[in-house]
Structure 1
Amino acid sequence: MTDGQRQIRDVAEEWPVRSSEQPFRGRVTGVRTDEVLMPDGSYARRDYQTHPGSVSVLALDEQQRVLILRQYRHPVRQRLWELPAGLLDVPGENPLHAAQRELFEEAHCKAGEWRVLVDFYTSPGGTDEALRLFLATDLSAADGERYEAHGEELEIETARVPLGELLRLVLAGELHNPTLITGTLALHAALTSPVGLEGLRAAESPWPARPFS
């Protein structure tokens, strides 16, 4: 789609960086400080979280219910309803394989059909985290024993909620996880579009933000 002569799409661009350092590096994420050249010739300091990237799964069953999880999130001091999700902490890992693993580990489910629902940056002003959100359908129980949970995962609750009810809760301000909100709105948009779910991208579609082999 265009606006006059402009094409409305995100494009890659990188402004000159005078200096860059990483004052903190944790097990998975870190903090980087860059001095970036501004259009007026000055330099501005930008502090942001470095992140390996994430995947998430909106699992939709035959009754149009979405599989959601609730777990404690310490930074916001709340127990949030979310979608199954996990880190891409293995360099070059195929995001589809990572999403399939997360669906198994967090919900002991598998899916016969996978598509890309939406790709987004979770908070581009403060982190370089990129997230690929998959739509998984044709759900069934996974084979074998359940994954042995650890730490905060021990208290995960699960539920299956009709998409219409999730949409109502999102718009009422009752749900706050950004991936759950994005997935709910994106799925509603896809289902009500002329092309439906067939218009979604294939599960192995390229992902420039996090290239994979």
Structure 2
Amino acid sequence: MGSAGSPEQTPLVDAAAPRPVTATGVVHAGRIFDLRSDDVDLGAGGQVTREYLDHPGAVAVVVLDEDERVLLLRQYRHPVRRELWEPPAGLLDVDGEDARTAAARELAEETDLRADRWDVLVDYYTTPGGSNEALRVFLARDLSPVPEDERHAREAEELDMELRWVSLEDAVAAVLAGEVHNPSAVVGLLAAAASRAGGWASLRPADAPWPERRGG
């Protein structure tokens, strides 16, 4: 609350506040996302041109087993020329697909696992200065294997992915030591540690509203 006689502070909640777009166009149409250019009217701030990636959004999954170990994958990421330790993740590139359904598909395809318990752990924008990509991180528990005859045939970067179970404490320590850099790993692992410390009270239902998702 603000002090007596002072204006109320702005709530600590990100708010939708679109500015008028006076012109827009696609600079480059990509396979997964486009590079767009918008002329934006900022009112008193004048007009600016902003280029950004128009992204469908994505999901990631912090997978936690009965021993409170998390499952991380080592995957090559060409833009940074590194193999990164990451949680299972994937694009929301099917129009209208439920985010939890997409997350369950990625979990099965990348790890041969299913989960009976799903919660929303945290939502974030990956790079809001240059992309509209919104990402939802789920917490998946109560795990079981996908039957052999239903397993996904991996390809491309997925072919040689290493899977490793790591204690949540060790995973968080790797993040804080600057050894793990994937944003979903950094955000998801720290969120999981904070939520567990609070008795998981911060978890939201798997179908919690997600207005930040493009078209959501």
TM-score (norm 2): 0.93
Q: Structure 1 residue 158 and structure 2 residue 163: aligned?
A: yes
User: Partners in 2 of 1:211 and 1:31 — Cα distance?
Assistant: 15
User: Partners in 2 of 1:61 and 1:190 — Cα distance?
Assistant: 16
Deviation at 1:139, TM superposition (A): 1.3
Structure 2: runs of 5+ lacking an equivalent:
3-7
User: Partners in 2 of 1:28 and 1:168 — Cα distance?
Assistant: 33
Among 14, 20, 27, the residue aligned to 1:16: 20
* Corresponding residue for residue 213 of structure 2: 210
User: Partners in 1 of 2:44 and 2:147 — Cα distance?
Assistant: 59
Among 136, 141, 145, the residue aligned to 1:132: 136
AA partner of residue 154 (structure 1)? L
Deviation at 1:209, TM superposition (A): 1.9
User: Partners in 2 of 1:6 and 1:102 — Cα distance?
Assistant: 38
* Corresponding residue for residue 180 of structure 1: 185
Q: Structure 1 residue 69 and structure 2 residue 73: aligned?
A: yes
User: Partners in 2 of 1:22 and 1:11 — Cα distance?
Assistant: 26
Structure 1: runs of 5+ lacking an equivalent:
none
* Corresponding residue for residue 47 of structure 2: 43
User: Partners in 2 of 1:99 and 1:64 — Cα distance?
Assistant: 20
Runs of 4+ in 1 over 3 A off after TM superposition: 2-5
For the residue of structure 1 that corresponds to 2:102, the secondary structure is helix
How high is the sequence identity, in percent, across the aligned residues? 48
Q: Structure 1 residue 147 and structure 2 residue 152: aligned?
A: yes
Matches for 1:104-119 after TM superposition, within 5 Å: 104-119=108-123
For the residue of structure 2 that corresponds to 1:199, the secondary structure is coil
State the superposition RMSD in angstroms: 1.6
AA partner of residue 98 (structure 2)? N
Deviation at 1:199, TM superposition (A): 3.2
Q: Count how many residue pairs are aligned between Structure 1 and Structure 2.
A: 210
